[in-house]
Structure 1
């Protein structure tokens, strides 16, 4: 398999047609090698429009979804990022390429270790991966950008409060069969603007609890 040809086809046939048109994003997809974040038997599949299985039984998001998420955030080099969900580490690597530092919270020890291993092997130094439930409110911080890598039925208020003024939070909100990616911008101390940016369907985020399981 010609890896570079596969990468070119991924960008031109999957990602660009999904309205990812920012040149910086498209150039980054050439620099940050997606195949480096998957084992040998999945490397040729890393460029397919599919969700690849991960060691804990979950799945990595498709390439076009990861690229679209990064584009919608409009990252700046000086910004700090919080990512909920490590997966293979690839989305963290994309975010790290466009920002100052990425903190990743992951509930699965297997995925925490996998992401750390992949990021280190790929020379990514501005990412910290922590074993923590990012949706529980136990972790607190202050960030310019927050990404929830998976579906939630509602965005926790504790996460929104960790946004700096002018910061953005991207989450995929809803339940099957209807989900939307929402971009929430903190416009003032207690004011948030929310807009839907695209439709998609993904598995639940790490630590997400369906509304039917909430206890009152």
Structure 2
């Protein structure tokens, strides 16, 4: 059985996948180059941790491919003094990356199994500035507002309730639309309303509970 050199695979991921997709932010590249992905990948698929593909997680969820995660991290422009709300913890990899770029991260996850998995993965890496909460985003209520909200699954249309989590002057990254062509946008929230900045096209799975209702055809 061939042993995989994960450090080499991680370097190749950054140089051959992420960089060519216009992810050039030095802080983001440093995090991707130093944060191991393989501990966040379920054991049966660990040898695929650095491939250019989505990887299966429990409960029918996926770990997004490196180029999408890199592009998301760059687009967020996270600062060391900012706090983040992540919607969709998954296995905790993107959560871990954001924890290195921001002050603290609250991550909500609908599936109890994934919330526990993400929490365990983060604890194993001694990441202390993250809180994982088992909650459904569509019924989650908090009085706290965040500098940044990152939604890791797609929606058909942007839920107005999600914008209430964003501080005035803050921003939310979210993917909206219908497969196979979805749009990643950054919603800038201000006291006078919001402004949507289009970032890049992609196609990712819907956030649990956010898929469009199939149209009935005669």
Do they fold alike, i.e. is TM over 0.5? yes
Count of matched residue pairs: 212
Q: 1:80 aligns with which of 78, 83, 98?
A: 83
Matched with 1:100 is: 103
CA contact (8 A) 1:81 1:145 kept: yes
The whole-number CA distance in structure 2 between the counterparts of 1:140 and 1:108 is 23
- 1:209 Cα deviation from its structure 2 partner: 4.2
The whole-number CA distance in structure 2 between the counterparts of 1:94 and 1:111 is 17
- Structure 1 stretches of 4+ with a deviation exceeding 4 A read none
CA RMSD of superposed structures (Å): 1.5
CA contact (8 A) 1:167 1:185 kept: yes
Q: Are 1:192 and 2:216 counterparts?
A: no
Matched with 1:2 is: 5
The whole-number CA distance in structure 2 between the counterparts of 1:93 and 1:121 is 11
- Per-residue CA deviation, residues 156-215 of structure 1 (Å, 9 max, x unaligned), is 1111122112211000000112201010111x21311101100000000133242459xx
TM-score (norm 1): 0.93
The whole-number CA distance in structure 2 between the counterparts of 1:179 and 1:197 is 11
For structure 2, the 5+ residue unaligned runs are none
After superposition, the Cα gap between the structure-2 partners of 1:137 and 1:154, relative to the gap in structure 1 and judged at 3 Å, is: farther
70-79 or 51-60: bigger deviation: 51-60
Equivalences for 1:8-157 in 2 at 5 Å?
8-136=11-139, 138-157=141-160
The whole-number CA distance in structure 1 between the counterparts of 2:151 and 2:114 is 15
SS of the aligned residue for 2:173 comes to strand
For structure 1, the 5+ residue unaligned runs are none
The whole-number CA distance in structure 2 between the counterparts of 1:171 and 1:119 is 23
